[in-house]
Structure 1
Amino acid sequence: MRIRKTTLWGAALAASLALPVAAVWIWHHSWWSLIVFVLWTIALSFAMVAWQRRRHRERCDKLLTHAQIATIRTLSHHRHDWMNELQILYGYLRLNKLDKAVDVVDRIRERMEQESRVSQLGHPELAAYLISFRTVCDTMRLEVEVQEGLYLDKLPLEADRLSRTIIGLVNVIRFRASVPLAGENVLKLALSREDVRLIMVMQYSGELAAAGSITEELEKCLADAGQMAQGIEPAEQSHNERTMVIHFPLSA
């Protein structure tokens, strides 16, 4: 409705130019009609510029509001997760189970290190997507593991294209994940570099809708950016578990 309203307003401003044009055509021998046409055109130009600036400012304000809301939701989810970990740690300490408390501390430390590596991936769009994933998806949990010292902006490849491809691959699983009858859906994503290629391992455990065509859709999303390895699903995996390995070649 807002887009239609602004479009009609812009069309009305442009159509108003027909009035001075008609005056010039009817009174083409009069000098005042030409002056009216020039002044009208100048006023219309200023009005169009002001209108475009207002639209641009409104779009920027809307994007800023969405970004702020997403940031608040992300921080809220992380605060909830850290509170749960601290409560578990506090419980073990009260029960004097120091070995269990040490395990919790190690788990917190490892998680903090992984989140730090994700935030320093070298591509803001991908890092923001992975960190804020919980705010946009409630059908599966995403766990990300990044090799130490891996920075996408320092690799010999197109970081923007790689970022869009990885987001697209995760979204393929995200949109196919269905609400499980028991437990939860979990996608583990691991990024590492090996010689002249970047390797991404996707391990999914849970329910998937139309699971038979998932490989085809992933390959379609890959296009020419990478290649999916064949014969990678261990025989002992159940029908609710699958592992997908994708190779992204690095130029020399």
Structure 2
Amino acid sequence: MNEEKLVQFIQNYRHDILNELQIIQGYINMEMNKKVNEKVAQVVDNFHNERKLLSLQAPKFAIWVMQFNHVYGNIRITYDMFIENLNLQSTDDQLVLLCANLMHCLEKHSEKDAFFEGKLSIHKQADNAKIIVDFSFDGKDLCLENFKKCVQKDKIYDVLGTDTGFNCRFTVPCH
């Protein structure tokens, strides 16, 4: 990552933190203590997830996830890490490539003004041999069949339509 991109990343990160603090400040000013406590708990949970993400020793993937909402204009994600302290350095490039390919197909086969909210979950397979990367999206403005063809051409992704959107999952080795 060059200096300009790093500075942009830091600016976006600071902007996001400031937004969260301004929301908390607004709740404090309106004396909405329950909302203050809920928002603070959410921010703390986000920092715990971020710590887990950074502990995976996959810096390219960590940056991809952390800057996601600033890169993809019509897609927003939150994420939950159910793993930590693993060395995924050997699969770092593969994680980014597979996730970016998924987003390319989503953008390519969605309606022009479509908006998708999603959740990224990462956990280990029961046998601990692989990491499961699971995206769950709300949004129906997608040609699901064409999207499936796009992502399943390499037989890497599993795609399932839901009542409110779709889920997409893939695995990578856990070395």
Q: TM-score range by the shorter chain?
A: 0.7 to 0.9
- State whether residues 55 and 84 of structure 2, in contact with CA within 8 Å, keep that contact through their aligned partners in structure 1: no
| Separation in 2, partners of 1:160, 1:81 | 26
Change (3 A) 1:242 1:152: farther
Q: How does 1:80-229 map to 2 (within 5 A)?
A: 80-149=15-84, 151-153=86-88, 158-177=91-110, 178-180=112-114, 184-196=115-127, 197-206=130-139, 208-220=141-153, 223=154, 226=156, 228=158
| Separation in 2, partners of 1:142, 1:175 | 18
Where is the helix percentage greater, Structure 1 or Structure 2? Answer: 1
* Percent identity of paired positions between Structure 1 and Structure 2: 16
| Separation in 2, partners of 1:227, 1:95 | 46
TM-score normalised to the size of structure 1?
Answer: 0.58
Q: Runs of 5+ in structure 2 lacking a partner?
A: none
State how many pairs are aligned. Answer: 172
Cα deviation 1:15-35 (Å, max 9, x = unaligned): xxxxxxxxxxxxxxxxxxxxx
Change (3 A) 1:115 1:165: same
Q: Which amino acid aligns with 2:166?
A: R
Cα deviation 1:106-158 (Å, max 9, x = unaligned): 0110111222222332222222222222332212112222213253527xx75
Where is the strand percentage greater, Structure 1 or Structure 2? Answer: 2
Highest relative contact order (Cα 8 Å, sep 6+), 1 or 2?
2
- State the 1:104 CA deviation: 0.7
Change (3 A) 1:189 1:218: same
| Separation in 2, partners of 1:174, 1:130 | 17
Tell me the C-alpha RMSD between the 2 structures: 2.8
Q: How does 1:22-101 map to 2 (within 5 A)?
A: 67-101=2-36
Q: Runs of 5+ in structure 1 lacking a partner?
A: 1-63
Q: Which amino acid aligns with 2:6?
A: T
TM-score normalised to the size of structure 2?
Answer: 0.79
| Separation in 2, partners of 1:195, 1:210 | 33
- State whether residues 152 and 159 of structure 1, in contact with CA within 8 Å, keep that contact through their aligned partners in structure 2: no
Change (3 A) 1:137 1:69: farther
Matched, 1:242 2:166: yes
- State the 1:84 CA deviation: 2.0
| Separation in 1, partners of 2:170, 2:94 | 15
| Separation in 1, partners of 2:16, 2:71 | 16
| Separation in 2, partners of 1:108, 1:250 | 29
Q: Aligned with 2:113: secondary structure? A: coil
| Separation in 1, partners of 2:70, 2:31 | 36
- State the 1:105 CA deviation: 0.3
| Separation in 1, partners of 2:81, 2:8 | 23
